[in-house]
Amino acid sequence: MARNVSTQRKLVTTVLAWTIGILIFFPILWTFLTSFKTEAQAIASPPAFLFFDWTTENYFEVQSRSDYFKHFMNSVVVSFGSTLLGLLIAIPSAWAMAFSPTKRTKDVLMWMLSTKMMPPVGVLVPMYLIFRNTGLLDTRSGLVMVLTLINLPIIIWMLYTYFKEIPGEILEAARMDGASLAKEIIYVLTPMAIPGIASTLLLNIILAWNEAFWTLNLSAAKAAPLTAFIASYSSPEGLFYAKLSAASTMAIAPILILGWFSQKQLVRGLTFGAVK
């Protein structure tokens, strides 16, 4: 009897998990399907699900109109660059807060998080002026800097929680063996925290890849990443849903593939320390 209940429960949870999963994934699937329709089929009512004349013309149209590769490279540079730079700053600071906390550490952490609470548009004009005066407008390095800054609180917070799980005694032992601070962080702490660092890295690449406020507002022609590429296909006067879907599919495909291959790492990192 007991076994019966558990099979039933298993069935229910499986069905529930799949339903939720499909519900969440459905918009992406729909975008993908729409990208292979003609504009007329894209707005047809009732909509066609799978049985329509599949066409790749939207992809050719999108590619002929805008340089996908240029935007793609900008996205890669900006998201990887900002994440790596962020990690370089965040690892030492998370170390400091996790292993030698002071009575102000909690406040500092809270203060850092509070910078995320302001709507970014509130500082758009001052940021724009700083960027203009320093010649950073429409440059990749400018975007790397701003994305590093806005994601830094999250990186530090994530790393801080991972580092907290690592017993301080191990670091102490390394220190007693004569390891310098740099060696302690590089050879002892980092290898132990790899799952945590990896998931922080992946999550931040995804966040930076999808960031659409600063990347749109601080770039023009040269440094524009894929967010600008998508924005050029949306239109309030004209139905270009199929082309917009093709552009969106092209923009999310790389990060989706990266996410797919690293999902184990991501889940392990995110649940790191939860089960003891």
Partner 1 sequence: MNLRTFLLGTCSAVALAGLAQAETLTIATVNNGDMIRMQKLTDAFTSKNPDIQLEWVTLEENVLRQRVTTDIATKGGQYDIMTIGTYEVPIWAKQGWLLPLDNLGADYDVDDLLPAIRSGLTIDGKLYAAPFYGESSMVMYRKDLFEKAGLTMPEAPTWEFIADAARKITDKNNEIYGICLRGKAGWGENMAFLTATANAFGARWFDENWKPQFDQPEWKNALDFYVKLMNDAGPPGASSNGFNENLSLFQTGKCGMWIDATVAASFVTNPHESTVADKVGFALAPDTGLGKRGNWLWAWNLAIPAGSQKAEAAQKFIAWATGKDYLKLVAEKEGWANVPPGTRTSLYENPEYQKAAPFAKMTLDSINAADPKNPAVKPVPYVGVQFVAIPEFQGLGTAVGQVFSAALAGQMSVDQALASAQQLTTREMTKAGYIK
Binding-residue pattern over the window 19 to 38 for partner 1, x denoting contact by CB under 8 A: -------------------x
Residue 39 or 165 having the CB closest to partner 1: 39
235 lies in the binding site for partner 1 (CB under 8 A): yes
Residue 201 or 228 having the CB closest to partner 1: 228
43 lies in the binding site for partner 1 (CB under 8 A): yes
233 lies in the binding site for partner 1 (CB under 8 A): yes
Q: Per the structure block, which two tokens stand in for 273?
A: 């320390």
66 lies in the binding site for partner 1 (CB under 8 A): yes
Residue 204 or 227 having the CB closest to partner 1: 227
Place of tokens 């670091």: 171
Half-sphere exposure of residue 207, counting CA atoms within 13 Å on the CB side?
Answer: 20
* 264 SS3 class: helix
Nearest to 151 by CA among 96, 208, 201, 210: 208
Q: Work out whether the CA dihedral 32, 33, 39, 42 comes out positive or negative.
A: negative
Q: What is the CA radius of gyration of the chain?
A: 23
104 lies in the binding site for partner 1 (CB under 8 A): no
Scanning 66-213, the segments in alpha helix (DSSP H) are 68-99, 105-114, 124-133, 140-165, 168-176, 181-183, 190-192, 194-210
Q: What is the dihedral of CA 273, 110, 194, 75, to 10 degrees?
A: 130
Considering only residues 65, 104, 106, 268, which one is a binding residue for partner 1 as defined by CB under 8 A? 65
Question: CB of residue 229 vs partner 1: minimum separation in angstroms?
Answer: 9
Question: CB of residue 149 vs partner 1: minimum separation in angstroms?
Answer: 19
Considering only residues 2, 40, 118, 274, which one is a binding residue for partner 1 as defined by CB under 8 A? 40
Residues 84 and 166: their CA atoms lie apart, in Å, by 22
174 lies in the binding site for partner 1 (CB under 8 A): no
Residues near partner 1 (CB under 8 A), total: 32
Place of tokens 């709507």: 119
Half-sphere exposure of residue 176, counting CA atoms within 13 Å on the CB side?
Answer: 6
128 lies in the binding site for partner 1 (CB under 8 A): yes
Question: CB of residue 223 vs partner 1: minimum separation in angstroms?
Answer: 11
Range in contact with partner 1 (rule: CB under 8 A) among 10-18, 27-35, 108-116, 230-238: 230-238
Considering only residues 110, 117, 176, 221, which one is a binding residue for partner 1 as defined by CB under 8 A? 221
Residues that bind partner 1 (CB under 8 A): 38-40, 43-45, 65-66, 124-125, 128-129, 132, 137-138, 216-217, 220-222, 224, 228, 231-240
